[in-house]
Structure 1
């Protein structure tokens, strides 16, 4: 798997940070987690990612995502 597939493929993209911020506020208003926006290194569009402390899963794990509650620090 290359970097594009791991980091960009299948994600929702936005043409501007303004659009991404608007969608992040909408999600938060509906009771969802906080999101930050970032410019993708592969497609140069804007994606949303969980804000620090808001992630529900870690990205690493030999058998898929690991819920944060099970992660032993």
Structure 2
């Protein structure tokens, strides 16, 4: 995967940080994970990202996908 695919492709683009924060609060209110907003260096829009310690995702390995839990350091 390229840096662009990881950072931008397939993510919702918000026009402002306030719109992104509003959506993050809505997701959290529905019982979802905590998110924060960041400015994308590729599309210059705003995306949501998991807060450190709250991300659970699959990482592709030669032996198939592996569940990863991010922990705050």
TM-score range, shorter chain: 0.7 to 0.9
- Report what 1:22 is aligned to: 22
Deviation at 1:65, TM superposition (A): 4.8
The structure with more strand, counted as a fraction of residues: 2
In 2, are the aligned partners of 1:20 and 1:47 still within 8 Å (CA)? yes
What TM-score results when the alignment is normalised by the length of structure 1?
A: 0.79
1:7-46 matched pairs, under 5 angstroms: 7-46=7-46
SS at match of 1:68: strand
Q: In the alignment, is the contact (CA less than 8 A) between 1:36 and 1:48 conserved in 2?
A: yes
1:67 equivalent in structure 2? 67
Which contiguous aligned blocks of 4+ residues in structure 1 show a shift greater than 3 angstroms?
none
TM-score (normalizing by structure 2): 0.79
Distance 1:65 1:33 in 2: 21
Mark the runs of 5 or more structure 1 residues left unpaired by the alignment.
none
CA distance in 2, matches of 1:26, 1:20: 10
Which structure has greater helix proportion? Answer: 1
Structure 2 portions without partners, runs of 5+: none
How many pairs are equivalent?
A: 68
